[in-house]
Amino acid sequence: GRGMDAASLTLKLLLIGDSAVGKSSLLLRFTDGAFEPSLKPTIGVDFKVKKMVIDGRAVQLAIWDTAGQERFRTLTPSYYRGAQGVVLVYDVTRKDTFTGLDSWLNELEIYTSKNSTVKMLVGNKTDKPDREVERKEGLQFARKRSLLFIETSAKTLDGVQHAFEELAIKILQTP
Ligand code: GDP
């Protein structure tokens, strides 16, 4: 089960996606409220915990960040182990990060359980003017692959809370 003890329900969530799409920024923004314009590449495996109340229930989200391993377009199996939710991030101003999504989905298929891992596609950096991927394209891709979908800006905070909340809600609804 998912540890149904209401007092201590913890969900493991992963951030994945290409380098520099904003994974660490989204995590920091969601958990600390901070936005750091000159963020250094992630060093070392790291995760942060965020407490939320969902449907009157106390939930802890343990959200893991990739430690820069994603530069090699692959992560270690232990990173994926036990994940109930995955946030797959691309940058709406970099088409290559969108076309690269399939390789991430292939890897997810190998390492996570198809039926019990909920996936959220996130198009980040909507505050920037130089968009290369339209919202509609993201939405279509997500529909085809049965992913939840949202666009965000880690800079303005637009959609950030919503992304993690929707994912957590969906996980709690998944048998
Ligand atoms: P990661 O490698 O996927 O973890 O990406 P980072 O979080 O390190 O972000 C890469 C760069 O993009 C950093 O300079 C961030 O400040 C910047 N960045 C991240 N999210 C946004 C966003 O939503 N809008 C803008 N304008 N910049 C962002």
Q: What is the pLDDT of residue 74?
A: 63
pTM of the model: 0.90
Assess contact for 148 and 142: CB atoms under 8 A. Answer: yes
Q: What is the pLDDT of residue 75?
A: 67
Over range 5-29, report the average pLDDT: 87
- For 56, 113, 118, the CA distances from 32, given in Å and listed in that order, are 22, 30, 24
Q: What is the pLDDT of residue 67?
A: 61
Residues contacting ligand 1 via CB (< 6 Å): 19-25, 37, 39, 42, 124-125, 127-128, 153-155
Q: CA-to-CA distance for 141 and 153, rounded, in angstroms?
A: 19
Nearest ligand 1 atom to alpha carbon 40: 8
| Band (3; pLDDT cuts 50, 70, 90) | very low
Nearest ligand 1 atom to alpha carbon 18: 3
Nearest ligand 1 atom to alpha carbon 21: 3
| Band (78; pLDDT cuts 50, 70, 90) | confident
Q: Which of 24, 25, 38 to mutate to test the pocket of ligand 1 (most atoms within 8 A of CB)?
A: 25
Distance from residue 39's CA to the centre of ligand 1 (Å):
7
pLDDT in tens, 83-136: 999 999 999 999 999 999 999 999 889 888 776 899 999 999 999 999 999 999
Count CB neighbours of 35 within 10 A: 17
| Band (72; pLDDT cuts 50, 70, 90) | low
Higher pLDDT: 32 or 37? It is 32
Q: Is the pLDDT of residue 1 over 50?
A: no
Which residue's CA lies nearest to atom 9 of ligand 1? Answer: 22
Tokens describing residue 128: 């920037």
The residue among 161, 169, 163 whose CA lies nearest residue 55 is 169
Q: What is the pLDDT of residue 65?
A: 87
